[in-house]
Structure 1
Amino acid sequence: MPVKVITTELGHSLPPEQPHNITFHIPGWETAKALRRGDPTLLSRLSSIYPRFGPWCEVRQLSTALHKALSLPEDYNLILFVHPDSFTTAQIYSSNAKWRKPEHLVPPADLWFRVVEIPISSTEKVRLYITAFPTKHAPGVVGTWQNYGCGISSRLAAACLSHLDSLAILPFKATGLDDVSLPNIPEPTYLPLTPAHSGLKSRIVELAQRSALGPEKSSLLTPENVFLYPTGMAAIWRLHQSLITLRPEGKIIVLGSVFHNSYHLFEESPNGMKHFGRCDAQSNLFSELEAYLESEHKEGRKPAYCFAEFPSNPILVSVDLIRLRKLADKYNFPIILDDTIGSTANIDVLPVADVVVTSITKSLSGYANCMGGSLLLPPSSPYFPSLSPLLTTAFKNEYFPPDASLLLSNSESYLARSATLNSNAYSLAAYLNSEARDPLSPVKAVLYPPFLNTKSNYDALMRPATPDFPNPGYGCLLAVDFGTLDLAKTFYDNLSVYHGPHLGAHLTLAFPFNDAIWGVEPGAAEYLKTFGANPEQVRISVGLETEEELLDTFKYAVEKATEEKRRLENQA
């Protein structure tokens, strides 16, 4: 069968291409690295973008219009939020040098704050909180958009653009030198809560309760235990704020490979983090972790919380959560689990989690056309009595109703799509695993839960089969490890699927995640290697194509990498 040719232009989204899509096709390994470097030529060709990578499309159009309306200097850029605490966040973030280059730090006088009000309908207005800064200092500020995930969505920006003739500039000006205290900032409007929000919260509870491993715990859940945010990172950030309030003295324990924005958020928390990178079955994780906890206990310190992805992104290791729960009970710290990769159709982490965070942008939405994040706080957690009031009091809706409405609609097909994603990913991983057993193959290993030594940890939390979902599985994400970077590049550049970040979409996406995302940060690649996240890996998010099409496409790329391996061996 001939390999399908991708005809989508560079910088355009997965089909069907339409406004507010959150993917973009950027073919080629070096193109992916150019994106992470912020190459202006590449950026100028993007007609779509993953929204947290930076303000884009309608958001950029709105930013440009507000730039003019506010008479900002020509070399200034700006980012937009609906929550006023973005001002304080920008102040702190732009002055923290833990991982940014000194030249990216923003002189306080260059950080400007403004507030505007724009109608979003005939009856509603929203106040936007604007942080402006010289474009050259973007790396020192844009993390407030990327790492905290609370920036406005493209749909909200489009609604503002359609009513821009009614823009009101509020009489508030401040710089980074001023005491930008919240009581002096114009009162926010936030965004209205609608039946779509309620419906989405109910959907999340229903999915958590179906085929539960601990029905006595999940039966206590109600929609009031779900908190919705504009992105998955926003959910993590808002939870982090409450947990740090609850436990201001402790470090964050981070287990395994985690998403790079999460990593930087934890790294720059007030007391930092303690990272245990290697968490596979051959590691000394639990002896090292218990020794650390015991030493902290003797000093009278408690961890703020422990965070892990299950399984981890992008190397798919599944931490032994049963064992972790016992340590958490012994040393008194909450466990925060991100179940995005395994996905709630397949796994039930509520028996071991104190809070479950999910990027519902991914598999729950499934069509790469809207964003969202959720927190699920089970009443069965011993931390519920103290954490629930904090989250409830702090919660202000930042999630735009049309985004919530579309995600709710998309989620109707979640179980059916998940069945296909599981089946396709397993078939593809099984093929790649067979290649990895062949010494002549360029494939070194496939990273997918059933083919790793932490399979039993995943299986312990897999949901039982039900008539509506008879084959719980291992999710849509896997990674392929090659012997050398040259072989990985050859495979990737001949892989005729969409190239770009994101996972859980309807079509298959590939991305050289470790080399592209972490490769620009000094020392990061060497550190990631210590726990198995190698630059020579290609991350794959399997889609809804036919199994035959997927296997043919990947076999062709492997054949090309095999030819390159032979060529290099003949030259040696």
Structure 2
Amino acid sequence: MSTTEPAIPATLGQSIPPDTPHAVSVSLPTWKSNVGYEEGKSWVVSRMVTGYPRFYIHKIIQALATLIVRKYATPDDGCLLLHSHGAALRCAEFLQSCKPCAQSDVRILDFAPGGSDPDSKDRPKPIIFAVIHPLDCAKLAKSFWQHTGEGVTSRRAEYCRRLFDEGLLVESGHASLPLKLSKGPRRYKKDLSYDDEPPPDAVQNGSTAGGLENGDRARFLEERFGRNLGIEMSERAKIAVRRRISGSLTADTDIDEALETSKDNREMRDVANFSVSDVYLYPGGMNSIFSTHRMIMLARGADCRKSICFGFPYIDTLKVLEKFGPGALFYGNGSDDDLDDLEKRLASGERYNALYCEFPSNPLLKCPNLDRIYALSRKHDFAVVVDETVGNFLNIHVLPFADVVVSSLTKIFSGDSNVMGGSAVLNPQSQYYSLFKQTWSEHYEDVMWPEDVIFLERNSRDFVQRIARINSNAEAACNALLGHPKIKDLYYPRVNPSKKYYDARKTPTGGYGGLLSATFHNEADAAAFFDDLNFDKGPSLGTNFTLASPFVILAHFTELEWAESFGVDRNLVRFSIGLEETGDLVNKLKHALAAIPL
């Protein structure tokens, strides 16, 4: 691959969407910029104002970590900020179980608001947790952050940074005052409310009036025009989000309707005795997978048993199964032949803890035979965990054929690309339901930051309407690309050989989702197409706008040959289809195809 430094695109490194302080995507608008990012080239990395949160630690988080090190550690130390004391313990244990950190001095600092509270007899629950480690362990600590999703979100860090700067956030050995959340930093309160228009001169030349300080314009616009709830409403927002995930809400609703609805949800999730109490929220999709893996190991006490990763997965799922626990049996093709082999292993007496699969998979959009997998699980005593992120529950019914269903709410459930979230849903008809329910009750940590929940609730209000349009647009995109001579292969549930397995789980009103991938005959063709493509280009998926990415380059740059051994071509471009006008979307695809030289 060529590494020559090209002309720098104006959008390189900017957030997607633009001017969004907590965006979860970043502009990498050319093929070379994606390669340059993976190679750590300064012409790319130095221009990045943000990145996907598990791969790029937000600058707000970095700044707070730097301040903590300066006050509580040494210049030879690094700092990882996590969302719970339990997460910090897991991180410390992980670091000390691996070389070169096995004998390292790793310690945990719990932070809470300072002061005193005469009405409280117990020490308050801290709100941010720091793992202090030698700089030699920084790469390993970053891998824990990436794989587990246990790191703090940028909104939590922003709030804690303000307290830290004001001397109100201290190491918990010196703290005893519980945090009292407000609607937000004080600068948002003066002469403003979310229901009031800003004064006519509120925004002038990048500065603000009416109680807003310099640099706050983007956040004010995001919150004021986003119609967010007050922070004190976060518990109500969680209920609304859980009801949408449960399937009890099948129409676009605001929070009051979401809380008042009494509709029976069984017809959506299609499982008897299912309720909202079976839905658990997490600060990210990967954290829901990591936490589910941890819960199942705790529940079954089967640490000696490996798990199964069935089908080519999103990168970190396999890493979690391999690094946290006894390891994994990996079936990278996720084929019927793989199931034949698994059945032989099971018949010979091999036993496993759980099987993890995606439905459909990312980026090849393959679907496994869930009916057969679930039947094998009941016969041979292993749990089934299905990641429905790409399909989503409005398009597919997978809960009846899984013990746990996980999803990234960061994606299409949110759509706005400005908040992270995840969920795990228990199947009340599972053979493990009582055991899992008890385990979740004992070990589940509700660590979602209130502001993040509020954004997630707001974004998901029109979830149902958006899914229908995205399904339709993706069909049109598929038709425009299918059979084109400049495309090597097209991957989409409707045209894949595994379509029969998708159709078996498709809802009566569902479609084939918003994700599809195309491969090209060589890198030059892929790069010419990608560079000409007039879409936003960056990591993530499920956005309300179409987002393209050379996914294999970003996700598997250091293991391209390994990925290709499972049919995952390095010259692949993945499309996450959005809400644009259909004709305009198709024309942009055709224009980019025309840019490929003959």
For Structure 1 versus Structure 2, the TM-score category normalised by the shorter chain is 0.7 to 0.9
Instruction: Say if 1:54 and 1:145, in contact at 8 Å, map to a contact too.
Output: no
Segments of structure 1 that go 5 or more residues without pairing to the other structure are 1-5, 173-185, 436-440, 466-471, 567-572
1:241 to 291, 294, 300: 294
Secondary structure (helix, strand or coil) at the match of 1:526 reads helix
CA apart distance, 1:10: 1.3
CA apart distance, 1:142: 0.9
Secondary structure (helix, strand or coil) at the match of 2:461 reads helix
1:536 to 571, 578, 584: 571
The amino acid across from 2:142 in the alignment is: V
* 1:306 and 2:374 are equivalent in the alignment: no
- 1:445 aligns to what? 489
Question: For residues 216 and 453 of structure 1, what CA distance do their matches in structure 2 show?
Answer: 26
When residues 133 and 33 of structure 1 are mapped into structure 2, their CA distance, relative to the original with a 3 A threshold, is farther
Question: For residues 207 and 308 of structure 1, what CA distance do their matches in structure 2 show?
Answer: 25
1:495 to 533, 537, 544: 533
Question: For residues 143 and 557 of structure 1, what CA distance do their matches in structure 2 show?
Answer: 36
Q: How does 1:414-429 map to 2 (within 5 A)?
A: 414-429=463-478
CA apart distance, 1:136: 4.9
* 1:220 and 2:273 are equivalent in the alignment: yes
Instruction: Say if 2:266 and 2:272, in contact at 8 Å, map to a contact too.
Output: no
When residues 7 and 542 of structure 1 are mapped into structure 2, their CA distance, relative to the original with a 3 A threshold, is farther
The amino acid across from 1:80 in the alignment is: L
CA apart distance, 1:370: 0.6
Equivalent pairs counted in the alignment come to 517
* 1:27 and 2:29 are equivalent in the alignment: yes
The amino acid across from 1:373 in the alignment is: G
Instruction: Say if 1:255 and 1:277, in contact at 8 Å, map to a contact too.
Output: yes
When residues 212 and 400 of structure 1 are mapped into structure 2, their CA distance, relative to the original with a 3 A threshold, is closer
Question: For residues 141 and 529 of structure 2, what CA distance do their matches in structure 1 show?
Answer: 36
Q: How does 1:434-513 map to 2 (within 5 A)?
A: 434-435=483-484, 441-465=485-509, 472-513=510-551
When residues 264 and 58 of structure 1 are mapped into structure 2, their CA distance, relative to the original with a 3 A threshold, is same
The amino acid across from 2:561 in the alignment is: E
Instruction: Say if 2:17 and 2:417, in contact at 8 Å, map to a contact too.
Output: no
- 1:230 aligns to what? 283
The amino acid across from 1:257 in the alignment is: F
1:200 to 233, 241, 263: 241
Instruction: Say if 1:267 and 1:273, in contact at 8 Å, map to a contact too.
Output: yes
CA apart distance, 1:540: 1.1
Instruction: Say if 2:351 and 2:382, in contact at 8 Å, map to a contact too.
Output: yes
* 1:271 and 2:266 are equivalent in the alignment: no
- 1:468 aligns to what? none
Question: For residues 143 and 19 of structure 1, what CA distance do their matches in structure 2 show?
Answer: 24
- 1:262 aligns to what? 317
Question: For residues 31 and 18 of structure 2, what CA distance do their matches in structure 1 show?
Answer: 24
Question: For residues 305 and 547 of structure 1, what CA distance do their matches in structure 2 show?
Answer: 41
* 1:138 and 2:179 are equivalent in the alignment: no
* 1:117 and 2:112 are equivalent in the alignment: yes
1:368 to 417, 420, 434: 417
Question: What's the TM-score, normalizing by structure 2?
Answer: 0.81
Instruction: Say if 1:82 and 1:188, in contact at 8 Å, map to a contact too.
Output: no
* 1:53 and 2:55 are equivalent in the alignment: yes
CA apart distance, 1:167: 2.0
The amino acid across from 1:506 in the alignment is: N
CA apart distance, 1:207: 5.1
Question: For residues 422 and 570 of structure 2, what CA distance do their matches in structure 1 show?
Answer: 29
Secondary structure (helix, strand or coil) at the match of 1:66 reads helix
Question: For residues 533 and 87 of structure 2, what CA distance do their matches in structure 1 show?
Answer: 41
The amino acid across from 2:417 in the alignment is: A
CA apart distance, 1:215: 6.6
When residues 215 and 229 of structure 1 are mapped into structure 2, their CA distance, relative to the original with a 3 A threshold, is closer
CA RMSD between the two structures: 2.9
Question: For residues 189 and 384 of structure 1, what CA distance do their matches in structure 2 show?
Answer: 36
When residues 16 and 263 of structure 1 are mapped into structure 2, their CA distance, relative to the original with a 3 A threshold, is same
Question: For residues 187 and 361 of structure 1, what CA distance do their matches in structure 2 show?
Answer: 33
Question: What's the TM-score, normalizing by structure 1?
Answer: 0.84
Question: For residues 33 and 393 of structure 1, what CA distance do their matches in structure 2 show?
Answer: 45
- 1:286 aligns to what? 339
Question: For residues 427 and 180 of structure 2, what CA distance do their matches in structure 1 show?
Answer: 26
Question: For residues 406 and 114 of structure 2, what CA distance do their matches in structure 1 show?
Answer: 32
The amino acid across from 2:82 in the alignment is: F
- 1:388 aligns to what? 437
* 1:377 and 2:378 are equivalent in the alignment: no
- 2:85 aligns to what? 84
- 2:454 aligns to what? 405
Identity of counterpart residues, as a percentage?
A: 28
When residues 31 and 202 of structure 1 are mapped into structure 2, their CA distance, relative to the original with a 3 A threshold, is same
Question: For residues 451 and 242 of structure 1, what CA distance do their matches in structure 2 show?
Answer: 36
The amino acid across from 2:408 in the alignment is: S
Question: For residues 315 and 63 of structure 2, what CA distance do their matches in structure 1 show?
Answer: 28
When residues 327 and 317 of structure 1 are mapped into structure 2, their CA distance, relative to the original with a 3 A threshold, is same
When residues 33 and 293 of structure 1 are mapped into structure 2, their CA distance, relative to the original with a 3 A threshold, is farther
- 1:553 aligns to what? 588
Question: For residues 187 and 455 of structure 1, what CA distance do their matches in structure 2 show?
Answer: 57
**RCO higher in 1 or 2 (8 Å CA, sep ≥ 6)?**
1
